Chain A
């Protein structure tokens, strides 16, 4: 029998499977159409739209104060930075100069958001490659930041703390104390992260040389954030186009040149250190002053086009507003980092195994509502 099969010119055919939309490793409702040959991936086609809520179109209906709360629901892990992006765009268009106090508070909370996002990513990343403990450790440390946010902003995830012209209310009296506690606590925890996961041989074998992205490809796919910096493409918006109080602090841009999953992982671990250093530089001297400048109840932007980019935990978020001088934007476009980073998934996953796809997708740190908007 066996010889018959060997002689009968049997061809192998491609096999399609759906990964998602309800798959734990896709971190949301992302559907991947995989074309596989055995376990080798030949093509990955992301299928989007499962959580599309037309945030850009809804923004055309809303006033500029109301748009801010919609951005919480895009990249929910860096919601404060999204809010900040819209507020900065509106403030630039109105030519308002916000008080120094607002700038510093925005930067501190932004960096806390980045750490919280990376904490969650680290936990989930470990879980994706089979280490369940990291999930609990990442959430344990993120919980402290969530408490800070809950006390100061009123919510744990969708904070909506920024308004055009400043902040909704002043920081809570406990904010500085709690943030310092967290910084001291978290400084002892990142080495634990390294011990637990980074140095682990099994983890390194899963990550090293998997999902390689060259610097040229990172640029041509429009990658940004830790994904691009893992490939040696220096693109930190905080460094090149500093906003808020980021021009007053010194920090190093985390950069790795390997371009594989481990490099992207290390960039994020490094970024947590840098964020801690930024918070430490600012937390002791929050300037006194108002927490907002008075704006008109109905904000009307001047006629024209306005653009502002910020660095979220995932990369470059751009907000483009085309205004015709009315109280709503004529067109509002978000350039989200997740969408560009997802586009290179096919490029880095082809030729690898399904397990490698999960590992490299975890290092892209996709947030699906950010991609679909």
Chain B
């Protein structure tokens, strides 16, 4: 008796489960989350806070706001940021001032913790929302964030 009872119960619960899957199958528009990546590259937009990679925005005059204070370098847990700086003569005041030569960012080591961007006092570095970071050559993951020939925006102090 219990043998047939088990078969009956098995089929019954199987049909109960299949009623759930059947509903999802037929009523697909509310439940489907499938994204057709990479076909939706044009429309796929990440959230504003998404941590893709660290970038340094420049204005149209090729100026950034990095003062070379190295707070991001100190805040970084694993040395993904290296700042090469020297003291150059500021054309405005004529005094010697600390300026960055290269702001090197190792994307391959970065854990996307966001501590550097929190530490930056002048908002010189920001998160970019790009998500396709893979390359064939890992040396390409070491980036110099300040553009060649760029200089600090006038009036930016620590």
Contact = CB atoms under 8 A, between A and B. Distances in A.
Most-contacted residue by chain B among A151, A154, A202 (CB, 10 A):
A154
B50 A154 contact: yes
A197 B46 CA distance: 34
A197 B47 CA distance: 34
Given A69-B77, A69-B111, A201 B6 contact: yes
If over half of B's interface residues share one DSSP class (helix, strand or loop), that class is named, otherwise mixed; here it is helix
Given A195-B16, A201-B6, A140 B51 contact: no
Contact of A202 (B10, B16, B75, B127): B10
Contacts of A150: 46-47, 49-50
B98 interface: no
Interface stretch (A42-50, A155-163, A220-228, A239-247): A155-163
A199 B113 contact: no
Interface in B45-78: 46-47, 49-51, 71, 75, 77
B112 A158 contact: yes
A143 interface: yes
If over half of A's interface residues share one DSSP class (helix, strand or loop), that class is named, otherwise mixed; here it is helix
A72 B115 CA distance: 14
A270 to B, nearest CB: 20
Contacts of A152: 49
B19 A195 contact: yes
A200 interface: yes
B33 A143 contact: yes
B20 A201 contact: no
A65 B75 contact: yes
B133 to A, nearest CB: 14
A158 B111 contact: yes
Contacts of A195: 16-17, 19-20
Interface in A20-69: 62, 65-66, 68-69
B6 A70 contact: no
Contacts of B19: 195
Contacts of B13: 199-202
Closest 7 CB pairs of A and B: A69-B113, A66-B77, A154-B49, A151-B47, A200-B13, A154-B51, A196-B17
Interface of A: 62, 65-66, 68-70, 72, 133, 137, 140, 143, 150-155, 158, 160, 163, 168-169, 172, 192, 195-197, 199-202, 297
Given A151-B47, A154-B47, A200-B14, 13 more contacts: A62-B77, A66-B77, A68-B113, A137-B24, A140-B33, A150-B47, A154-B114, A155-B51, A158-B111, A160-B113, A160-B114, A195-B19, A201-B13
